[in-house]
Amino acid sequence: MQMSFLTIGMLAGGLGLFLLAVGMITDGLKQAAGNTLRDMLAKSTRSPAHGIVTGLSITAIVQSSSAVTVATIGFVNAGLLTMYQSLGIIYGTNIGTTVTGWLVAIIGFKIKVETFALPIIGIGMLLRLTGGESRRAPLGMAIAGFGLFFIGIDVLREAFEGLATAIDLQQFTVDGIPGILLYVMIGFLMTVLTQASAAAIAIILTAATGGILGLYAAAAMVIGANVGTTSTAAFAVIGATPNAKRVAAAHIVFNVATGMVALLIMPLLFWIVNVTSELLGLEHIPAVTLALFHTIFNILGVLLMWPLTDRMTRFLEKRFVTQEEIEGQPRYLDKTVAVTPMLAVNALTLELSRIAAVVRRMAMAVLSAEYGQSKRITSDHIVVSKLSNAVAVFITQLEKGVLSAEVAEQLTKVLRAEQHLLSCASQALEISQMQSSLESINDRALVESISAFRLSVVHLMELANPESEKFSFVDCETQLERVQSRYDDVKDELLQAGAELRTPIPGMIKVMEQNSQIRRMARQMVRAMYYLSELYAVVEVLKPEAEKSLSDKDSMAQHS
């Protein structure tokens, strides 16, 4: 019984040291590198081949495929990497995880750990303590982590050697396919629970070397651990954006497909491992054999998935599509209208009307919002940004051809209207973000004045609809003057209330800042309407019949 408790304690302690070491290596190197990780991922992924080398190198250095995968998800989400580029990094990180196995196999069982691990820890901590705020401090932490890494492996090795003599393994043996699947599941769960495939691989290799596991059982667990790494990416994208989910899905597809192929051809893989071992002159010990097995089946997975990279990219880009992505797709801009410049201007005017409708929706929502930031406003801002970018790209393509002076003039108006609408949307988003910080005003007269000012802006937004039969730019200008007048009145009343201490001055200042943003939003909308009204006057705006009927149905639904 005492031996059992000692063995369990050594297993727990060895695993704890190992996880602590991996955390120190990862955090230390990331802090020491600063923005190097980001720069390497962003600049060294021109093709999947470059991405593989980059992913492999960084994963081998920081000893955490999860950290690299999560970083990749972040960069794709931020637009620094494309979906296509990210696949190369994912391939590379899977090969990079095999470095842990080689460290365990070649160093962990060949050299007396204390002879080099303890001095490494001492040197690392000396750098950590004397580094101050410089990069030497986190680098020292990473070096100390490498020392702990090998001590953790050594503790695990001793624990498994003791476990081999204390447990009768025959009673737990499951033969055939059910047994292999059982070991795959155990390896998978080990990685999910520890959230570190490196730890799972180290445990498996030490267990196999200590006689706890047979080669085939250990290989099945290695496959399970490899698939288990996808759990980190899956957890990281819960509630995340579509881009993040697509990268995580690519990671899962690659690892699961690679694992399935490895299971199906396991005897063939072991034959390749034996041949390769003979050619390289490697020793036939379990740790080395399993490290080579892990490397070969990951490389095989890359070779199998490489030709499918383009298809996988296209497939995933059609998945996890959100409402803003659907609404953010241009409805009228395509190559067929680009051939005829005047048709192109017509299409651009229609697309601007769509942008204006979304911006009006944002403005109305933010003016009616009491507290907090509305998710719909943020979503609408994404839609406006996407449509604005599509308009700019379409105009750039048009300008490559020969355009008449008249068409060039209309395109200038389109761009001006688009910029004012985008600015109006940005103002609405900022106003929404300010809502939560506003303090409530208890003065009834002030509340009524602020409400009157907001209502005047709401009325302006209702008038700013060039698709309406009653639309008049003159009416918009007239209403903007009323908005300015209301703004001036509220400003004077707020200053008076602050001077008389009827309202807290910090709260008064915040309300004045928000009112100023609302006034600017109104101005930007009117400026956009100026150019849109001119476009409607010059261009005979033609809506496709299907679009007309859809608009009629929407109008009828609103009035019913």
Extract the tokens encoding 223.
């496959």
Q: Which of 57-61, 172-176, 403-407, 531-535 comes out lowest in average pLDDT?
A: 172-176
What percent of the chain is modeled with pLDDT above 90? 11
pLDDT at residue number 421 = 94
Rounded CA gap, 325 and 296, in Å?
A: 40
Give the tokens for residue 492: 């004077």
pLDDT at 551 over 60: no
Higher pLDDT, 156 or 134: 134
CA-CA distance, 397 to 375, in Å (whole number)? 34
Taking all residues of the chain, what is their mean pLDDT, rounded to a whole number? 77
Contacts of 233 (CB under 8 A, 6+ apart): 66, 69, 70, 73, 247, 248, 251, 252
Question: pLDDT higher for 399 or 220?
Answer: 220
Q: Which of 16-20, 192-196, 209-213 has the lowest mean pLDDT?
A: 192-196
Does residue 553 register a pLDDT over 50?
no
- Assess contact for 221 and 202: CB atoms under 8 A: no
pLDDT per position as a tens digit, 317-326: 777 766 666 7
Lowest-pLDDT range of 10-24, 80-94, 182-196, 341-355: 10-24
For residue range 440-498, what is the model confidence (pLDDT) as tens digits?
677 788 888 888 999 999 999 999 988 888 888 999 999 999 999 999 999 998 888 88
Res 118 pLDDT > 90 = no
CATH number of 326-559: 1.20.58
Q: What is the pTM of this model?
A: 0.54
**CATH 1.20.58 region(s) of the chain?**
326-559
420-446 pLDDT, tens per residue?
A: 999 999 999 888 877 765 666 777 888
pLDDT of 160-186, one tens digit each? 555 544 544 444 455 677 878 888 888
Q: Quote the pLDDT of residue 64.
A: 63
Higher-confidence residue: 30 or 223? 223
Q: What are phi and psi of 405, to 5 degrees?
A: -60, -35
Instruction: Quickly tell me which residue has 């290989």 as its tokens.
Output: 219
Mean pLDDT (whole number) for 266-283: 85
* Contact assessment for residue 497 and residue 512, using Cβ atoms and an 8 Å cutoff: no
Q: How far is CA 82 from CA 41, 45, 47, 90, 454, in A?
A: 11, 9, 10, 13, 42
pLDDT tens digits along 499-535: 888 878 888 888 889 899 999 999 999 999 999 888 8
